Amino acid sequence: MLLAIGKASVPMLRATLKTLRGSDVYGALIAPKGRVRLPPHERVEVFHAGHPVPDRQGWAAAQHVTSAVSRMQKDELLICLISGGASAMLADPAEGISLADIRILTNQLVKSGATIHNINTVRRHTSKLKGGRLVEFCGASKILSLIISDVPGNPLHDIASGLTAEDPTTFKDAIEILRAHNLWDTIPSSIRKHLSKGALGELPETPKQGNSSFENVHNMIMADNGTACIAAQQFLARKLPCRVLSSSLEMDTRSMGRFLAALANERKEHNERVRSSGAIVVGGETTVGVKGRGIGGRNQETALWAINYLPELEGVAIATFGTDGIDGNSPAAGALIDGNTKNRAILKKIDPDRFLESNDSYRFFRRLRDNILTGPTGTNVGDLNIIITLD
């Protein structure tokens, strides 16, 4: 059986079906809405599910997957093709939790500023299949997971919330995360009840390291943010010196914006700026606390913060964008700024702080025509930030 799920599920499944041409295969494709559709295959069930908030199509997909893997025989192999976005697209609320409640929880977590590690810890403990439980449901003798990672550091239990990986976290961890982000008293009561029962030992924990069910499970990282960083570095190096600073930075958007601006401004000697042409690539993922009702995402908000810290420098530009081509709830992938962006905004009487307050970074950069527009890329390995300086 083939299970392809996530933002890169269509090309991953297409390549796998080509490789296995002539073999007796069946499976399920769970892809984002609006993406390129897979050519018809009589034995592949197709679901187009919502992201980042789960929907009924994702719920139907989870029901199908649960039923299909539980019916697998000992002489069968399950191949999972996993990529970013799978946590939301596989809407599998645990017993006693409704899809509506999971949608509320997801909205609250996404807007809270919690890291992806924290968000997925809660997801694993409110789900039926995540946190390695898919392995426990599966009747196949072997499971091979080919994974494209969108999580800094590539922790297997966090990518797609660890469908085929042991989970080092607990119900108590999930509760502590919700309390730390002031969500415990506002989440649906069904979720509080479920997590409380789990913390008291009244519900089975997610499988931990050493669980015998994982003896024949093989998880392989096929690509990650480092892959994209190296590709960017190789492309830029055709024209100017370029280095990758990191592929796993994690911080809030304001800190990242300030950090990128500092990198662009960093080379000084005796108070005189000394710069040479070159580029720096920084990969990872930021967090953003959403308080306004604007349109934007973490990459455009990073760029919007950065212009407040970037001096009026000639020959400096910063691009920040998501590798999936979609930044938050906007149609853009990210934004491009330079040392003159703030002055251009002032001339147009556009106040960056006002747009930051309403989390409306997309509209800010649209007014300047500085959004990066790529459309969906069909993959997701996190975010890229590129700084270019020219003599």
Domain co-membership, 14 together with 24: yes
Tally of CB atoms within 10 A around 179: 11
pLDDT tens readout for residues 171-201: 999 999 999 999 999 999 999 999 999 999 9
pLDDT of residue 138 exceeding 90: yes
Domain co-membership, 253 together with 282: yes
Domain co-membership, 291 together with 333: yes
Residues 6+ apart with CB under 8 A from 135: 143, 164, 207, 213, 214, 217
Domain co-membership, 361 together with 275: yes
Domain co-membership, 156 together with 84: yes
pLDDT of residue 276 exceeding 50: yes
| Domain closes at, from 223, 242, 265 | 223
Using alpha carbons, select from 288, 330, 326 the residue that is nearest to residue 115.
Answer: 288
Mean pLDDT value across the chain:
93
Instruction: Find out whether 21 and 45 touch, Cβ atoms under 8 Å.
Output: no
pLDDT of residue 270 exceeding 50: no
Edge-to-edge strand ranges of the sheet holding 278-287: 242-252, 278-287, 383-389, 316-322, 334-338, 371-372
Confidence of residue 268 (pLDDT cuts 50, 70, 90): very low
Task: Specify the range with the lowest mean pLDDT, choosing from 3-7, 318-322, 367-371, 375-379.
Answer: 375-379
Residue with tokens 């919502």: 50
Instruction: Name residue 351's amino acid.
Output: D
- Read off the CATH number of the domain in which 359 is found: 3.40.1480.10
Quote the pLDDT of residue 271.
Answer: 43
SS3 letters for 100-165? HHHHHHHHHHHHECCCHHHHHHHHHCCECCCCCHHHHHCCCCEEEEEEECCCCCCCCCCHHHCCCC
In the Cβ-directed half-sphere of 180, how many Cα atoms lie within 13 Å?
A: 12
Q: pTM for this structure?
A: 0.91
Residues 6+ apart with CB under 8 A from 205: 167, 170, 171, 198
pLDDT of residue 55 exceeding 80: yes
| Domain closes at, from 223, 253, 271 | 223
Domain co-membership, 195 together with 344: no
- What does the pLDDT average to over 261-265? 91
Quote the pLDDT of residue 269.
Answer: 41
Domain co-membership, 194 together with 272: no
- What does the pLDDT average to over 141-157? 96
pLDDT tens readout for residues 219-228: 999 999 999 9
> Beta strand 242-252 with 272-273: parallel, antiparallel or unpaired?
unpaired
pLDDT tens readout for residues 5-34: 999 999 999 999 999 987 888 999 999 987
Instruction: Find out whether 267 and 273 touch, Cβ atoms under 8 Å.
Output: yes
- Euclidean distance between CA atoms 145 and 237, whole angstroms: 33
By residue range, what is the domain housing residue 283? 225-389
- Read off the CATH number of the domain in which 198 is found: 3.40.50.10180
Domain co-membership, 176 together with 277: no
Instruction: Name residue 147's amino acid.
Output: I
Task: Specify the range with the lowest mean pLDDT, choosing from 18-22, 68-72, 130-134.
Answer: 18-22
pLDDT tens readout for residues 296-343: 999 999 999 999 999 888 889 999 999 999 999 999 999 999 999 999
pLDDT of residue 265 exceeding 90: no
Domain co-membership, 102 together with 51: yes
Question: What stretches of the chain show up as alpha helix (H) in DSSP?
Answer: 9-19, 56-70, 86-89, 99-111, 116-124, 133-137, 171-180, 189-199, 225-236, 253-265, 298-306, 341-347, 352-357, 361-368
CA dihedral over 28, 33, 35, 40, signed as positive or negative: positive
Percent of the chain with pLDDT over 70: 96
Instruction: Name residue 124's amino acid.
Output: R
Query: C-alpha dihedral over 42, 45, 48, 54, to 10 degrees?
Result: 180
Domain co-membership, 13 together with 125: yes
Quote the pLDDT of residue 275.
Answer: 57
Quote the pLDDT of residue 104.
Answer: 97
Instruction: Find out whether 164 and 145 touch, Cβ atoms under 8 Å.
Output: yes
pLDDT of residue 209 exceeding 50: yes
CA of 180: how far to CAs of 177, 289, 311, 389, in Å? 5, 14, 36, 40
pLDDT tens readout for residues 280-290: 999 999 999 89
Domain co-membership, 268 together with 293: yes
- Peptide bond preceding 11: is omega within 30 degrees of 0, i.e. cis? no
Percent of the chain with pLDDT over 90: 87
Residues 6+ apart with CB under 8 A from 188: 97, 98, 101, 104, 105
- Euclidean distance between CA atoms 126 and 111, whole angstroms: 18
Domain count for the chain, please give it: 2
Instruction: Name residue 101's amino acid.
Output: D
- Euclidean distance between CA atoms 382 and 284, whole angstroms: 6
Quote the pLDDT of residue 272.
Answer: 45
Instruction: Please tell me what DSSP assigns to residue 214.
Output: G
- What does the pLDDT average to over 130-148? 96
Domain co-membership, 264 together with 156: no
- What does the pLDDT average to over 87-113? 96
Instruction: Find out whether 224 and 272 touch, Cβ atoms under 8 Å.
Output: no
| Token pair in block for residue 228 | 């994209």
Residue with tokens 């996404």: 110
| Domain closes at, from 174, 194, 223 | 223
Quote the pLDDT of residue 40.
Answer: 62
